[in-house]
Structure 1
Amino acid sequence: MTKLKKIKAGALQFVLFIGAIIAVLLMAFVMVSHSHTLFNKKTDITIAMIQATDRGMGASFDQPLEVGMTWELPERDPLGIETSVQKDYWGLLEKREVISKKGKLKFTKIGLVGLRDENRYALYLEDNNRPMVIAGVARISGDAFLPERGIKMGNIQGFGYTKPQLVYGRRQQSSSRLPELYQEVARQLGQLTGLPKGNNISFKKGEIIKNSFQEETQIIRGAVIELENISLVGNILVWASEEIIVQPTANLRDVVLIAPQINIVDGTMGNFQALASKQITMGRNGNLSYPSVLAVGKKGKFEKNANKQQEPSLIMEPGASLSGMLLYWEENDLEGYGANIQIQENANVNGEVYCQGSLELKGNVYGSVTTQSFITLEKGNVYQNHLFGGKIEANLLPLAYGGLVFKDKPANQVMKWLY
């Protein structure tokens, strides 16, 4: 006869406890495995959405987009991802926002876009029925569009041109009008002097203000605004009714400045757009990184006075360096004579100069120059259509550079991804 043994309650509880632990561990393993599978699927979809935004940006360059228009990528995505592109402007630069969606998932990329031109010329000089004269240590490297009367050697204050070639590149004939900028770029330059729309904010010295380009634009307004000991980054616009002064202690990145007068003090560094209706001065030894823009747009009617020397509207002082675009645009002829853009000795532009007026170039342009005329002022003498001492080197501009968009050449390159 089998004798029954009593099992102590403590042992039974231990068995149940071990069983519960094993059940929990099994359940946790199942949940981890399921979560890992979902995570992998979500990761795959996220990667596919990122790739879709890149495809959308590239495909949009072949479309005639308009500001405010939403264009949808027509191709069918196997995962059901929907991609759309919107066009807008940030300052003078075209901005495109690409959005990819899959259910509740959304991915956005925003970029500033411009023109990448593999056949970029060194010089386009409008044909104003007078020849171009080159003197001193000036140099033109790259293709040049010149007036019908061509280019010849000259002498200013005893400094003649001594190089064996006048142009180190091909010569072609220019027309009586400059290549036209894309219509919306010119319109932006004319409109940006008005009151901007956005969320008004105040600032104080020592403050750090950052704003994403996916949020509403933050605007700093005033009559005279001095930016000193402050950091402004992103989707921020500084608008003054009289003047903006940028001190070297200011950290400005991707912001836009708008005022009649803008003074960038000696030694200032950063990356921003400055748009003025009267004058911009960039002081000595400053350095603005790509893609920065300095632009002056003048409107209205003016009386000419041939005996009055006008002050330059855009000045780069010795040692100043800009990577990006330098523009002067006018609606009507200005009074007097003189330079509209003045690039002084040892000042450098890595990019483009577009001058709808007279350019005095004594510094260096590593890229291209488009101008109505040259001018040189030396010891009270005025030399029309003379290039004296300045250098234009198109071959030193990187091929990946994206810049100004012209009427017959739309944007085809992302200049910078925003955040």
Structure 2
Amino acid sequence: MTKNHKIKAGSLQFVLFIGAVIAVLLLTFVLLSHSHIFFAKKSNKFMEVIECNSFSVKLALQPNGKAIASNNNSYEKDGISTEVKKGLWGVFDHYTAVSSFEKINFSSSVLVGYGVDETLPALYLKDNQRPLIVAGNTKIVGNAVLPQQGIRPGTISGNSYFGNRLVHGTITQSTAILPNLESEKEKNIKYLCGPFSPKNGVVPLTPSRNSSYSNSFLQPTKYITGDYINLTSVSLTGNIIVVASREIQVDASSNLQDIILAAPTISIKNNTKGTFQAFASKRIEVGNNCILNYPSALVLHETATDQQQNQPNLAPLFVGSGSIIKGILIYQKRSEEKMFYPQIKINTNATVIGQLHCEKNVELKGEVRGSVYTDGFMALENGSIYQNHLYNGSIDFNQLQEQFVGLGWNDTAAPKKIAKWLY
């Protein structure tokens, strides 16, 4: 005879509790596994969006890139759509790429210029039917494109040419026309160096001591405007243009990163450090022991008749002793007017690492680690003016790194490259 055993209600509750716990744990593991798979897929897709964004930028840099021609183009790959827009930021192209897939979005912004290679000259001297005379400790390393009259040793203040070779590279003949910059860059230089008002809809900023402003290159440009602007103890970063109707003054206490300065006169005081582009129509003066990091640019575009002809020591674009400029220097003045003073002066112990393009005269007492394109040279010594003389100056193209990205000319065959990733 079988006896019936009663199970207490508490035991059933315990069994149900255990079952519920197991069900919750199983559900948790299922949700965790599902979430892991979901986020892994999302992470992989996000990486694909980033890769597609980078690919689209590189595609736009190709010589046949549609974005170069249309300034606005779309790409699509594996369901990921990317729009690439091209603009200008000073002397550089500015590309912005926006990629999206469903709710995933990624944007990037880059400065773009032209690469350099061994085919580019260290020196291009326009053919004005007179030779280049070198004296003192002058040194030219790299290929040189010179007038038909060539290059000769000379003597200034009793100092003859000390080198054993006039050019450490090949010599070819130049023409009576100095290579011109790209037409769109020319237009942008004239715009930034001329009097202009900020675009409509942009809220101007007002700088004051110890103030700090920043603006992403993925946002509309912000402007600082005024008559005379002193940036002492001011920090400015990113997509900002400072516009003054008379003068901008930059101090060693200023912290300027990737911005643009535009004024008739720009004064950069001793010991200033930063990364920026400066555009002026009358004068840019860089003091002593300044460091302008890559990719900086100093651009002077003169339109009116110059008033400093009797003051030859006041070159419109002047770089003081001990200063280092990493980037680009440009002087423009489209006229047949004869100039009897230098328009760009690189003082003793000053260094330019990059490119110098001058449509008039250069007085080079320091060194250029890169290339020089100029209408002529000039040396001012002991009250005398020596035309087309290079005295104690150094041009060394071999010291320019292959990664340098800079200017392009209308007939350039150099590839476009990224100078800097922005933010």
Q: Tell me whether the two structures share a fold, i.e. TM-score over 0.5.
A: yes
Q: Within 5 Å, which residues of 2 pair with 1:99-248?
A: 99-118=98-117, 119-192=119-192, 193=194, 194-197=196-199, 198-248=202-252
Structure 1: distance between partners of 2:332 and 2:291:
23
CA shift, 1:140, in A, is: 0.3
What aligned pairs does 1:18-417 form with structure 2 within 5 A after superposition?
18-61=18-61, 62=63, 63=65, 65=67, 69-73=71-75, 77=77, 79-118=78-117, 119-192=119-192, 193=194, 194-197=196-199, 198-300=202-304, 302=305, 309=312, 311-333=314-336, 336-409=339-412, 412-417=416-421
TM-score (norm 2): 0.93
- 1:379, CA displacement in angstroms? 1.5
Residues of 2 paired with 1:373 and 1:227: CA distance?
35
Deviates more, 1:164-173 or 1:92-101: 92-101
Structure-2 separation of matches of 1:228 and 1:387: 37
Q: Does the aligned pair in 2 maintain the 1:357–1:373 contact within 8 Å?
A: yes
Q: Deviations over 1:352-392 (max 9, x none)?
A: 00001110000000000000000011121000000000000
CA displacement, residues 225-268 of structure 1 (integer Å, 9 cap, x when unaligned): 11122221111111111111111111111111111111111000
Question: Displacement of 1:190 after TM fit?
Answer: 0.2
Any conservation in 2 of the 1:308–1:335 contact (CA below 8 Å)? no
Q: Secondary structure at the match of 2:169?
A: coil
CA contact (8 A) 1:310 1:335 kept: no
Within 1, Cα distance between the matches of 2:58 and 2:306? 47
For 2:401 and 2:224, locate their aligned partners in 1 and report how far apart those are by CA, in whole Å: 35
Corresponding residue SS for 1:42 = helix
Deviates more, 1:187-196 or 1:361-370: 187-196
Return the letter of the residue paired with 1:172: T
Deviation by residue 1:44-85 (Cα, 9 ceiling, x = unmatched): 212222222222122212226458721233xx62x2222232
Query: Does 188-197 or 175-184 show the bigger shift?
Result: 188-197
Residue type matched to 2:218 in 1? Q
**Whole-Å Cα distance in 2 between the matches of residues 17 and 220 of structure 1?**
69
Identity %: 38
Equivalent position amino acid for 1:413 in 2: K
Count of matched residue positions in the alignment of Structure 1 and Structure 2: 414
Per mean C-alpha deviation after superposition, the further-off stretch among 80-89 and 55-64 is 55-64
Give the structure 2 partner of residue 7 of structure 1: 8
Q: Which runs of 4+ in 1 moved over 6 A?
A: 303-308
Shift of 1:322: 0.6
- Normalising by structure 1, report the TM-score: 0.94
Shift of 1:145: 0.3
Cα distance per residue 1:152-184 (max 9 Å; x no partner):
011000111021111010000000011111111
Deviation, 1:336, is: 4.9
Q: CA RMSD in A?
A: 2.0
Deviations 1:178-207 (A, max 9, x none): 111111111111011312223312232222
Cα distance in 1 between the residues matched to 2:396 and 2:324: 15
* Aligned partners of 2:96 and 2:218 also within 8 Å: no
| Structure 1 residue ranges without an equivalent (≥5) | none
SS of 2:16's partner is helix
| Structure 1 position 299, deviation (Å) | 1.8
Distance in 2, matches of 1:364 and 1:329, equals 21
Q: Tell me, which stretches of 5 or more residues in structure 2 are unaligned?
A: none
Structure 1 distance, partners of 2:147, 2:66, is 33
Q: Given residue 22 of structure 2, which amino acid in structure 1 is its aligned partner?
A: I
User: Matched residues in 2 for 1:306 and 1:96: separation?
Assistant: 41
Give the counterpart letter for 1:39 in structure 2: F
Q: Is the 8 A contact 1:310 1:337 kept in 2?
A: no
Q: In structure 2, give the amino acid aligned to 1:271.
A: T
CA contact (8 A) 1:67 1:87 kept: no
Q: Is the 8 A contact 1:307 1:336 kept in 2?
A: no
| Partners of 1:289 and 1:377 in 2: CA distance | 29
Q: In structure 2, what residue type is equivalent to 1:326? A: L
Give the Cα–Cα distance (whole angstroms) in 1 for the partners of residues 24 and 309 of structure 2: 93
Structure 1 pair 406/312, CA: closer, same or farther in 2 (3 Å)? same
Tell me the distance in 2 between the aligned counterparts of 1:104 and 1:255.
Answer: 32
Counterpart Cα distance in 1 of 2:123 and 2:349: 19
Q: 1:19–1:205: structure 2 CA closer, same or farther, 3 Å change rule?
A: farther
Give distance in 2, aligned partners of 1:102 and 1:141.
51
Give the drift of 1:17: 3.0
Question: Is the 2:91–2:407 contact (alpha carbons within 8 Å) kept by the matching residues of 1?
Answer: no
Give the letter for the 1:216 counterpart.
Answer: P
